[in-house]
Amino acid sequence: MIRSLEELQELAEKKRCDDEACKEELRVCIGSTCLSLGAEAIQKELDSGVKARGLEKRCRVKGVGCNGLCAAGVLVSQVNKASGTEILFESITESDAKALLDAYETGAVLESKRSDTTRAFFTKQKKIVLENAGYIDPDDIEDYIAHQGYAALFDTLTNALPGEVLDEVKLSGLRGRGGGGYPTGLKWESVAKVESEVKYIVCNGDEGDPGAFMDRAIMEADPHRILEGMALAGYACGAEQGYIYVRAEYPMAVEKLNRAIKQARQLGILGRHIADSGFSFDVEVRLGGGAFVCGEATALITSIEGNRGHPRQKPPHLSDSGLWNAPTVLNNVETFANIPPIIRNGGAWYRGFGTEKSPGTKVFALTGQIVNTGLVEVPMGMSLREIIEEIGGGIPDGKKFKAVQTGGPSGGCIPEQHMDTPVDYDSLKSLGSIMGSGGMIVMDEDSSMVEVARFFMEFCQSESCGKCAPCRVGTTELSKILGKFSRKEATARDLDQLRDLCEVVKETSLCGLGQTAPNPVTSTLKYFESEYLDAIRKENA
């Protein structure tokens, strides 16, 4: 049990000393992507190799979360803790493990697999949320503690009032990372103000955007960070119970979170009277069931209560009546993951990154026709061009860039001429897309924008919960019309109808799913109208 800030610091110090006794580490990425490329076998191979060679006194093999460059998995890094140097190896297979150890044993480096870490992919990122990803063992709470973990929570419980936590979060300017960008401090304050015996903190780990995996990586690589962020929210708002709603398609994330919760309870970091203070807080994981609409706040709440995930009208807002009708804070995984560093370093520090209206960093999942697929964290305000061409390494096979899709089914496609737009909530919105939760899908000259619009509309159609007609019927009709365009059988009337219907669905749907479902269509109509015109049959034109 850890009962005070001092005891926490002692444990951190002890863990660091223990770690230093062993000078070097071989870190194997065991994020989902690397796991499916055989990371577990590589870790075992390295571990038994190190022991067989009698190297275990100077070298430890450890599994770590995703470092981001998933395109080049399996990633292994060789770290010298005394000198702070790190050598990264990419595309490691089971058969490379022996060669890697052969070189390591003689003090050499397996140059053929060495990754060039002077590339923009590594140098242009700024890691706040992902600061521990790729460094710590997500299954070991002590490793988190040794990296300043839970220091913000314990320091707060010892030295600060709930209002001071609110002030720092407000000062930081942090905005919700789940898509909407609502100021987190204000959300918390509205719950803190309500008088109520019972309040809840809920973390949205549903990650429904099909093509995004930021939250998954955070939950898998650094689960304790989310728990700490939620506990701080609990303290600030006066809540004692938290829930993390995770989609069932992420079994690894569920496993890591459950293990983290268990370890935290064992050390008294979750539970009654944390740090001998009057504050108690506990967290439980709840599984989703693969329904996109359950990422919507009111649907998620009713799903936790054990119902079909139907959204409801707002108000009442969750801050007045959320889970089991109690005042509830609901934030995205990445939002909570930003909290510990904000409290540790102060809101003013956080404001030093990003832009005036969108402070901090944002994690993006880069996928599609791009060289460096994977996860990146960059300061807000960086241009799309820098992210895609420099960090992402551009388009493979000498093809030309056509568009980048942001915001998933609720977002839009942004064309070449807007590549210099800074990435922040407001700029992306003004282009007819949204920041969304961080999916960024790059498309080259061969991609059809009509197809992309049809893909997302079919997605929304099948995910519509059916509660309100504009969305249920509208998305079905829109899919049909888009199908005509994609088969090049459309008429000029179809184009008019498409426009009108988009407007109706947007304006009259009950929840965000329906309201934003037309976005992929309207944005492609805006920038790639010619592709729609080309799909109109000549005799009908």
Ligand X SMILES: Cc1cc2nc3c(=O)[nH]c(=O)nc-3n(C[C@H](O)[C@H](O)[C@H](O)COP(=O)(O)O)c2cc1C
Among 256, 467, 484, 506, binds ligand SF4 (CB under 6 A): 467
* CA pseudo-torsion sign 226, 228, 233, 238: positive
Task: Give the interface with ligand X as residue ranges (CB under 6 A).
Answer: 176-180, 182, 204, 206-208, 292-293, 295-297, 330-332, 335, 437, 511-513
β-strand 439-444 against 76-80: which pairing, if any? unpaired
Q: Which residue lies nearer to ligand FES by CB, 143 or 207?
A: 207
The answer to the question of residue 304 lying near another protein (CB under 8 A) is yes
Site string for ligand SF4, 447-466 (x = CB under 6 A): -----------------xxx
The answer to the question of residue 301 lying near ligand SF4 (CB under 6 A) is no
When CB distances are held under 5 to 8 angstroms depending on the partner's kind, the choice from ligand X, another protein, ligand FES, none that residue 177 binds is ligand X
Write out the binding residues for ligand SF4, residues 495-524 only, by CB under 6 A.
509-511, 513-514
Q: Measure the CA–CA gap between 172 and 237, rounded to whole angstroms.
A: 17
Residue 33 Cβ vs ligand FES, minimum distance, rounded to whole Å? 9
Q: Are 521 and 453 in contact (CB under 8 A)?
A: yes
Q: Measure the CA–CA gap between 363 and 67, rounded to whole angstroms.
A: 12
Hey, is 488 helix, strand or coil?
A: coil
The answer to the question of residue 89 lying near another protein (CB under 8 A) is no
Calculate the CA dihedral of residues 443, 446, 450, 451 and round it to 10 degrees: -80
Q: Tokens 């150890």 map to which residue?
A: 101
When CB distances are held under 5 to 8 angstroms depending on the partner's kind, the choice from ligand X, ligand SF4, ligand FES, none that residue 210 binds is ligand FES
What's the Cα-to-Cα distance from 492 to each of 66, 489, 530, rounded to whole Å?
49, 10, 13
Stretch touching another protein by CB under 8 A, among 120-128, 211-219, 271-279, 492-500: 211-219
What's the Cα-to-Cα distance from 188 to each of 35, 84, 169, 200, rounded to whole Å?
37, 39, 9, 11
Q: Which of 198, 204, 195, 262 is nearest to 234 (CA)?
A: 198
The answer to the question of residue 455 lying near another protein (CB under 8 A) is yes
Buried b (16+ CB within 10 A) or exposed e, 279-293: bebbbebbbbeebbb
Residue 178 Cβ vs ligand X, minimum distance, rounded to whole Å? 3
Residue 150 DSSP symbol: T
Among 23, 472, 499, 537, binds ligand SF4 (CB under 6 A): 472
Residue 354, token pair as written in the block: 């990003």
Site string for ligand FES, 203-222 (x = CB under 6 A): -------xx-----------
The answer to the question of residue 73 lying near another protein (CB under 8 A) is yes
Residue 194 Cβ vs ligand X, minimum distance, rounded to whole Å? 18
Q: Are 464 and 473 in contact (CB under 8 A)?
A: no
When CB distances are held under 5 to 8 angstroms depending on the partner's kind, the choice from another protein, ligand FES, ligand X, none that residue 248 binds is another protein
Q: Measure the CA–CA gap between 297 and 421, rounded to whole angstroms.
A: 30
Q: Tokens 């969305």 map to which residue?
A: 471
The answer to the question of residue 115 lying near another protein (CB under 8 A) is no
Q: Are 145 and 12 in contact (CB under 8 A)?
A: yes
Residue 437 Cβ vs ligand SF4, minimum distance, rounded to whole Å? 17
β-strand 76-80 against 24-29: which pairing, if any? antiparallel
Q: Are 370 and 396 in contact (CB under 8 A)?
A: yes
Site string for ligand SF4, 274-293 (x = CB under 6 A): -------------------x
H/E stretch holding 299 reads helix 297-304
Q: Measure the CA–CA gap between 541 and 539, rounded to whole angstroms.
A: 6
Q: Are 371 and 184 in contact (CB under 8 A)?
A: no
Q: Which residue lies nearer to ligand FES by CB, 12 or 34?
A: 34
When CB distances are held under 5 to 8 angstroms depending on the partner's kind, the choice from ligand FES, another protein, ligand SF4, none that residue 249 binds is another protein
Among 37, 101, 128, 363, binds another protein (CB under 8 A): 37
Q: Which residue lies nearer to ligand X by CB, 212 or 269?
A: 212
Q: Which residues form the interface with ligand SF4 (CB under 6 A)?
A: 293, 311, 464-468, 471-472, 509-511, 513-514
Q: Which residues form the interface with another protein (CB under 8 A)?
A: 32-33, 36-37, 70-71, 73, 207-213, 216, 248-250, 286-292, 303-309, 365, 367-369, 373-374, 405, 408, 439, 441, 443, 447, 452, 455-456, 459, 465
